[in-house]
A and B are shown apart, each in its own frame.
Chain A
Amino acid sequence: MSSTSQKHRNFVAEPMADKPVTALAGVGDVLGGRLEEKGFDKAYVVLGQFLVLKKDEELFLDWMKEACGANSKQAKDCANCLKEWCDSFL
């Protein structure tokens, strides 16, 4: 990934604390809304799902598509963002 979005960089720059799920790269208002409906209201809840899938990008992509109807790019952005966050803060 040569270019990352500003959102990605913002998210990866600091601990996620209580950030809402929409702070994740690739998750906008629509996907965020769907995730919140399913109980994934904070970014750390999505992180939990990512971790319980053992940071497996493929499985996480599947989950993103299933859980909130994300497309491949959105899911991948989110996975990258979480992976990078884990690399620096976990």
Chain B
Amino acid sequence: MPVFAEDSAQMTKARLKSDLVAHSVTLPPTTSRKEVYVELHAAHVQRKSADFSSDEEPEAEEPNDAQTLDPSSLTDDGLKAALLRRGVRAGPVVASTRGLYERKLRNLLLSNGHDKEKHEEDGADEAVLYSDSEEEENSEEEREEPGTNTCFKGVAFLVESAPPARVQSFTWNILASRRRPIKGAAARPVQYIYPDTALSPASPLSPASLERQEVERRLVSLRIQLLVFLFVAIILYVVYVCVEDFSFNPVLALIDIFDQGLDADEPETQEVEEFLEVE
């Protein structure tokens, strides 16, 4: 596939790594540079996709996995990648969790072994379906998730066109382990096509937009706070100026004038009273 050839150099190192693991290629030491991964990727992954159409890969590699992939011999990263390839988003693989994840992978491998025969029957039909619709969609989605796109179609195909009996056995497989809601030929779940949206169905907004909302909410009150602060500051300033320049204070001057006016009034009234008394 031409898309693959362009991508391998642009993929991230982690992406290359998990791709290599997905194709059962032994990884170079973790200190190696990206070029090493790109070369390996070109040598193994792309050669494979040239040999088979990429849709048949799962069938081609599954038998390998069940026999050769030994969870206990994988590195921590390899174990995590192998689980991710089977639709399990593993947490950190550390001493206290490794055993659990190894067992989980082993269980998955076992159940994949049973699924495999069923999917192989579909192989020919799937190939027909894939080959006509793949080109246009691949160019859009290939960069993010080269594998899952085709798997999704595999699942869609199974669900849509399979006879009732097959659908039943298919759903039974889903129920057998609730960690793998829907499985395609490559045992990858549908949910990773849109990793961001599928990750947290409970909260549809990403953390970034939630944060932005939070900030926006704060901004409104911040503006009000600023206004209030300015208002108070101005009042305090006016008071300060008033106290300092006592003589030039217009308010006090007004009060003074008023007081003088009162004082001036008083004698007058006294005079009137005196005048009245005299009379």
Q: Which positions in A face B, CB cutoff 8 Å?
A: 49, 52-54, 56, 58-59, 62-63, 66
Complex partner residue of A52 from B89, B92, B103, B178, CB under 8 angstroms: B92
Q: Is the CB of B99 within 8 A of A52?
A: no
Interface size counted on chain B using CB atoms at 8 A: 13
**B 76-100 to A, binary, CB cutoff 8 A, 1 in contact else 0:** 0000000000000101101011011
B118 contacts A by Cβ under 8 Å: no
Q: Is B47 an interface residue (CB 8 A)?
A: no
Q: What's the Cα separation between A54 and B97 when bound, in Å?
A: 11
Measured CB to CB, the nearest residue on chain A to B104 is A59
Decide if A58 touches B178 in the complex (CB within 8 Å): yes
User: Within the complex, which residue of B91, B94, B104 is in contact with A54, where a contact is CB–CB below 8 Å?
Assistant: B91
Q: How far is the CB of B258 from chain A (nearest CB, A)?
A: 65
Is B212 positioned at the interface, with any CB of A under 8 Å from its CB?
no
B residues neighboring A (CB under 8 Å): 89, 91-92, 94, 96-97, 99-101, 103-104, 178-179
Q: Are A53 and B91 closer than 8 Å at their CB atoms?
A: yes
With A58-B178, A58-B179 in contact, is A52–B96 under 8 Å at CB?
yes
Extra 18 A-B pairs, beta carbons < 8 Å, given A53-B100, A56-B91: A49-B96, A49-B97, A52-B92, A52-B94, A52-B96, A53-B91, A54-B89, A54-B91, A58-B178, A58-B179, A59-B100, A59-B104, A62-B100, A62-B103, A63-B97, A63-B100, A66-B99, A66-B100
CA distance A56 to B179 in the complex (A): 10
Q: Look across to chain B and name the residue whose beta carbon is closest to the beta carbon of A60.
A: B100
- 17 pairs, CB–CB < 8 Å, chain A vs chain B: A52-B92, A52-B94, A52-B96, A52-B97, A53-B91, A53-B97, A53-B100, A54-B89, A58-B179, A59-B97, A59-B100, A59-B101, A59-B104, A62-B100, A63-B97, A66-B99, A66-B100
